[in-house]
Amino acid sequence: MNYIIITYCLYLTITIALTIWVARTLFKNGKVFLVDIFHGNKELADSVNNLLLVGFYLVNIGYAVYTLQVTSSITNFQEVIEKLSVKVGFIILILGAMHFFNLYIFFTLRKKATMEKRFKTNVIS
């Protein structure tokens, strides 16, 4: 039995499933922020949200495929699980970091949009 091939298949299955789950969650919940940032322009918010989704998939799945290679020998299921835990754990850390980076960007843009809205309201008054 080739344990490296099993590790590859499990690794890709787990990381792609995690990436899809996180991306869908961010896509669904991030739309509200984008609509607010773009002052109610839902069409622009949807467009940006779709572009962010595609970028998220490309970066994360690309990195998962890039780091697929296992250089040490794997001779039993214990080593499969140990190798998977390291590789999948790192992908989870990357997904978490990207999530917080996206939140930071959203909140920064939202704060800027709110300040612009207040400024325009004060100028008009």
pLDDT tens digits along 12-30 = 999 999 999 989 998 998 8
CA–CA distance, 60 with 9 (Å, rounded to integer): 17
Q: So what's the pLDDT on residue 88?
A: 92
| Angle (deg, nearest 10), helices 42-66 and 77-124 | 160
Q: What is the pLDDT of residue 1?
A: 67
Side chain identity, residue 102: N
Q: Which whole number is the average pLDDT over 42-54? A: 92
d(CA 74, CA 5): 10
Q: What percent of the chain has pLDDT over 90?
A: 44
What angle, rounded to 10 degrees, do the helices at 3-37 and 42-66 form?
160
